[in-house]
């Protein structure tokens, strides 16, 4: 889990995630899945940046304002490489806005989807 105490999350959810992460074999399974699935390679390379340029559908790139795992501005950088992409910053969230600020993230996604379909 990549949670920051400054951005509280649902305690029951955090406990379930923690318990599943310490189960026997959990790390090995995660590592095997993480490094063998297409699309889950290391951070963007020049070839993945070229792939961003080929995206032709509406895109919303979301960043937690207090993310300590990714550098500030990474979402804007990616959105800037995708024609028409929108970047949104979730205040009061770190690396996991879907957990730390679910209502705010849901509102952003619904607003984005309404604009993308209309």
Provide the pLDDT for residue 20.
77
Per-residue model confidence (pLDDT) at position 116: 77
Q: Does any domain span residue 2?
A: no
Specify if 6 maps to a domain: no
> What's the pLDDT score for residue 45?
58
Domains identified in the chain, total number = 1
Report the CATH number that the domain containing residue 35 is assigned in CATH.
3.40.50.1820
Classify 62 as helix, strand or coil: strand
**Cα(94)–Cα(73) distance, rounded to whole angstroms?**
13
Domain for residue 44, yes or no?
A: yes
Distance, first Cα to last Cα, the chain: 36
| Average pLDDT per 10 consecutive residues for the chain, totaling 118 residues | 64 77 72 54 60 90 89 90 94 90 95 84
Question: Using alpha carbons only, what angle is made at residue 106 by residues 99 and 16, rounded to the nearest 5 degrees?
Answer: 25
pLDDT score, position 1: 47
What token pair was written down for 69?
Answer: 């795992």
Range of the domain at 98: 11-117
Position 11 scores a pLDDT of 77
Bridge partners of 88, per DSSP, are: 62
């Amino acid at each position: 889990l990549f949670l920051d105490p400054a951005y509280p999350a649902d305690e029951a959810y955090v406990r379930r995630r923690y318990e599943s992460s310490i189960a026997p074999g959990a790390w090995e399974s995660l590592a095997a899945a993480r490094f063998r699935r297409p699309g889950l390679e290391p951070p963007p390379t020049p070839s993945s940046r070229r792939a961003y340029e080929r995206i032709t559908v509406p895109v919303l790139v979301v960043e937690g304002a207090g993310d300590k795992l990714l550098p500030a501005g990474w979402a804007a950088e990616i959105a800037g490489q995708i024609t028409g992409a929108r970047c949104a910053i979730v205040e009061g969230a770190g690396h996991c806005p879907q957990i730390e600020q679910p209502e705010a993230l849901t509102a952003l996604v619904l607003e984005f989807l309404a604009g993308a379909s209309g």
